[in-house]
Chain A
């Protein structure tokens, strides 16, 4: 049974990667200007925040929890960055402080979830409102601009004379780190164990609370980083930066085959999910498909990504039942 489940899971992973590749090829062949180097740069910049935040989100969801506060953490980090910049602080101090802030915000989530034992859904809906509200308190409705060109140009620029965006380095490095941690270290095994059965994980010597706490810290840290990069990309710090991004991130992670119930998922699938969503949006926009349709596509993909494996599973088991004797309960 367990190997079967594993196999099914690998299937979904392969399937989503295959779908992504197909979409990329079809888009490049049929949509004018999709396959250009410049558009590749735009695509990477557009998916940057979702890709970054999706990495820790994957781990959090695999443990069976959720973090809906990520976009608000991003916004608060951006707002604080703008506030400190207006206070004439050096950018070299502001950036680490914003990362630290993100980690602290994550730790607050972690505290409520692991120490007080509150449901993460409710906690992070609360901090979603709280952090976004604080972002508005810090910066109001204003926008702070004029960030140093050295930094903003790096974020929007390319590596050397190539057309590979600089920020792709960040995505690749972080994705590699998270991939190795999740799939090749004891920490990753603990994450899966917790998601499968917290009780069993505890018997196996894992301390679920501690692992989850640090996952929330990392989630906050990465969201803080995403806030910094967002601010630099648009050279504009605003309290409403990234509003609603949490939905896109969760959609991408689930599309990538991570189970919302925890215990199952793989990082390559998640990356494919992120790329799939972003390139579909990019291609549709280039084909002058309206924004409304993008919303519908995102929503339908999200539901289908969870529905399809369930249906496939139901069909398969009914076929099996026809072939074999009915399984005892």
Chain B
């Protein structure tokens, strides 16, 4: 009995001594990317290996309800310790309310690993400070079904004229040239950005920023007018074809091309592992023009200002800005990390990364989603009308400009 009591006392002392060394901080990561759970858990396991005192719990919420869930939780002083955020205007609403910790060289040294345009996506315009560490760039371009092109004996188009010639030839062979429809509002805006980007060029973007140009500008109207030509090469009933149907038409080989986002490369591969595809820049205005895809940053990682574990959360986010994280993130998720010097081993993703070097910014996402009405709301509600012929490109350009002039000073009085 005495021996047992001694053993018990020794065990208690041993437990008491070891306890301070085994206590770990548990932090949570909130995201809308439910499909990325396995990859993030693997990444977080790497982090915990390096920081055994911090455990990270992955918590995901449905994409559509994520803003509501996140804002409600943050307003109540709750929410994850690290919050996966969208970028630009979406982020700004949260920063204005003081929900996120400011990131600078002292608490987030890995900001130095990001390019300037990436940092812009996580920067609050009013104080020019970063609140969310960028996590991925997305590129809009043209998916090419190589098998279909090979069978038809055609080459992927690089200019608008080539695009029309190739599309006519494909149509004659009974193949849908362009898989896209207009049944998904958010993608309609991406569709416009994809095809108008190379026709507009970087100079137009600078002119928009300075107020030299608006969306009534003849360059923009001409680019919108070009879109009308695409209708002849889209599927029958394209007005009602949604983005997921378009994807299915493309991967099944019923359609030869698809204006889409690099974010779908891994999805299409998973759905049809035999698919031979390419991702190229959308058609340029003329031969010799620089290939111009459209690029934007999807979002970032922010630290909840009300988190009781801010230090651990900052440590995690800082690690998420390192090359070590970026390499594995790109390999596991097929997304391009904005971290400088990241290895992109996948050949198709490497092509996308190359396109990014000369890409146009996604005009609406990067510059016109900060106040109401957003450029996206205005364009999304007008583009289907324009494509169906109920309004003209001039009317659409005018509506977008006049709507934005409510809050975008360079457009006021124009």
Q: Do A and B come from one complex?
A: no
Point out residues on A near B: beta carbons under 8 Å: none
